Amino acid sequence: MIVDVINGSAPMKRLLISGPKGGIGKTTISRNIAVAGALAGFSVATLDLDMQRGLTKWFSKRPDDMASITHFEATMLTSDVQDALAGIVGFDLLIIDTPPSIEDHPESFKILAGAADFIIVPTGSSDDDLDSVRPWMQFVKSTGARAAFVLNRVKPRATGFIEAKSILVQTGHLCPIEVPDYEDIAFSGNRGIGLLELKRAKGADHIGGVWHYVKAEMGL
């Protein structure tokens, strides 16, 4: 681990959640990784760049007695992105949620990708999802950023699931843990908490597995 010789602490890690398609679960992954990191003892901040403000709405419902997370908002304007990246400091982990149609903001994305330690591209297993995220992953890789797909809202027993995994690994790295489409994920999100904060939640092991994968990839 590299240590900041001035402050005596490890530099902040930035995790970017991106994808060109709506409904693939960027905000779901963002909030659950944020909670997992906070529960693991890291100081965590979130940055909502999506004008729909799904992550911000989730945070506004968050009970005071849950694991501590600090939240920020900004737009995808290049100047706002630069200001946010420069101004959010002093945390162990910053998780950045981006809007659909991220490809409409190429310059801002390049700034974000250049600052990110790792990028997650969530995707479902349908042909529509795969046709959307595969070209996006190729663009992400062209920036030199480290990235991986995370299969989200999937039905692991479905016929197309294994086929989807086979297709994705031809384009980029794939997180070995997928997130099934469990009702507890939406239930917890509607209450401003993470799945790992819900007792006996179905899917907690999957979210925990994605967190451990991300943690290892980022060197946290």
Can you give the pLDDT of all 220 residues of the chain as single tens digits?
Answer: 334 444 445 789 999 999 998 888 999 999 999 999 999 999 999 999 999 999 999 999 999 999 999 999 999 999 999 999 999 999 999 999 999 888 889 999 999 999 999 999 999 999 999 999 999 999 999 999 999 999 998 887 777 888 999 999 999 999 999 999 999 999 999 999 999 999 999 999 999 999 999 999 999 9
Element (H, E) at 13: strand 13-17
Q: Which two tokens stand for residue 112?
A: 């974000």
The dihedral built from the CA positions of residue 124, 46, 119 and 53, taken in this order, carries a sign that is positive
Q: Which residue in 78, 143, 125 sits closest to 104, CA to CA?
A: 78
Residue 108 lies in a domain: yes
Residue 6 lies in a domain: no
Question: Cα(39)–Cα(30) distance, rounded to whole angstroms?
Answer: 14
Residue 111 lies in a domain: yes
Residue 5 lies in a domain: no
Residue 1 lies in a domain: no
Residue 2 lies in a domain: no
Query: Can you give the pLDDT at residue 1?
Result: 38
Q: Which two tokens stand for residue 125?
A: 């297993």
Q: Which residue in 151, 150, 148, 152 sits closest to 173, CA to CA?
A: 148
Query: Can you give the pLDDT at residue 129?
Result: 93
- 70 burial (CB, 10 Å; 0-12 / 13-18 / 19+) is middle
Query: Can you give the pLDDT at residue 17?
Result: 97
CATH number at residue 26: 3.40.50.300
Question: Cα(130)–Cα(160) distance, rounded to whole angstroms?
Answer: 11
Residue 3 lies in a domain: no
Query: Can you give the pLDDT at residue 9?
Result: 59
Element (H, E) at 1: none
Q: Which residue in 25, 16, 210, 34 sits closest to 125, CA to CA?
A: 25
Residue 29 lies in a domain: yes
Number of independent structural domains in the chain: 1
Query: Can you give the pLDDT at residue 4?
Result: 43
Which of helix, strand or coil describes residue 122?
strand
What range does the domain containing 119 cover?
Answer: 13-218
Query: Can you give the pLDDT at residue 42?
Result: 97
Give residues with Cβ within 8 angstroms of 5, minimum separation 6: none
Q: Which two tokens stand for residue 140?
A: 């992400």
